[in-house]
Amino acid sequence: MKIGKVAMIGAGAIGSYFVEGLSEKLGENFWVVAEGERKTRLSERGIVINGKKVCLNVRTAEESFGADLLIVAVKYGALQESLTLIEKIVDKHTIVMSPLNGIDSESIIGTKIGTNHMVYSFMKIAAQRVGNEITYNPDVTAGIFFGEKDGSRSERILAIQALLEGTKVHYHICDHIEQDIWFKFALNISTNLPQAIINCGYGAYTDSAHLAYISNRLRDEVVQVAAMKGIDISDENSSTGKNSDILPDSRFSTLQDLDAKRETEIEMFSGALIRMGKELGVETPFNEFAYHAIKCLEEKNCGKIK
């Protein structure tokens, strides 16, 4: 198995990392998938990565049919509407990776095209996005984490490794990918949400015992829900559950969305955890507060409340 043609849906913070990392190796065989006005805009304007304008090879979903690998890098709120595009791209042999935040993108996509196409994955990248400009520090970006659910070095895992080898994409093959995804989920909930509510930089987690307390309680609830699912993420010292080197003034995706008056991914974070907690009989009061607080901030941004 060899991966020679790669398609990607989404050209934001995660997508830009793959544009920067794979374009040189794949050339015309790396495609950004878009339709209509968005296709025109991306084709004409490209994106700006770390101050450098990058032209994109933009194709429709039909034109991208039969890609060897499809990377789904959309925002969570756009995932449902992307399923039609995904279905048009995927052939029998296509591998699909969706390194989105959260814990359910693989199952959502797999329900549409078959879970046999999915390789579980997640990203660690601290990127800032303003318009079509994305900035991140490539030297400290951990990159893509992926693996089979049974931890095996399957043919397709080795094919992905061969694709990424020698590129600018940092990668990690995981022996326990489901557990690692939950570690990342807990990290996102405990660091994304408190700073978004308080409107502060990452350094506040060490500067404020109060913010640290909120962060820890949010994480505790994720640990409890994961435990009910048979997944142990109680080890606070796990490297997967920690951020890479991040500047104290860094603002994560939820706060960036609020700054830009965009819809946040709170449904993917606390929304998903609250639903699972109710199903499993686990109380999640801190996440319930975070969910409603951020929903209020979204309403404030769109003028619904003043």
Tokens found for residue 207: 């500067």
User: How far apart are alpha carbons 105 and 86 in whole angstroms?
Assistant: 13
Tokens of 69: 């690998």
* 53, 223, 226, 251, 276 from 282: Cα distances, Å: 48, 10, 10, 30, 8
Predicted pLDDT of residue 215: 96
Strands 6-9 and 30-33: what pairing?
parallel
Q: Is the pLDDT of residue 244 over 80?
A: no
**Residue 173's pLDDT is what?**
97
Inform me whether the pLDDT recorded for 71 exceeds 90: yes
**Residue 242 pLDDT class (50, 70, 90 cuts):** low
pLDDT tens for each residue of 292-302: 999 999 999 99
Domains of the chain by start residue, with CATH: 6-175 (3.40.50.720), 178-301 (1.10.1040.10)
- What pLDDT, in 10s, does the model give residues 8-57? 999 988 999 999 999 999 999 999 999 999 999 999 999 999 999 999 99
Q: Indicate if the pLDDT at residue 140 is higher than 80.
A: yes
Spell out the residues 6+ positions from residue 292 whose beta carbon is closer than 8 angstroms to its own.
none
Sign of the alpha-carbon torsion through 261, 263, 265, 266? positive
pLDDT at 219 over 90: yes
Tokens of 224: 């409890």
pLDDT mean across residues, the chain: 94
Residue 278 has pLDDT above 90, yes or no: yes
Comparing 207-221, 246-260, 286-300, which segment has the lowest mean pLDDT? Answer: 246-260
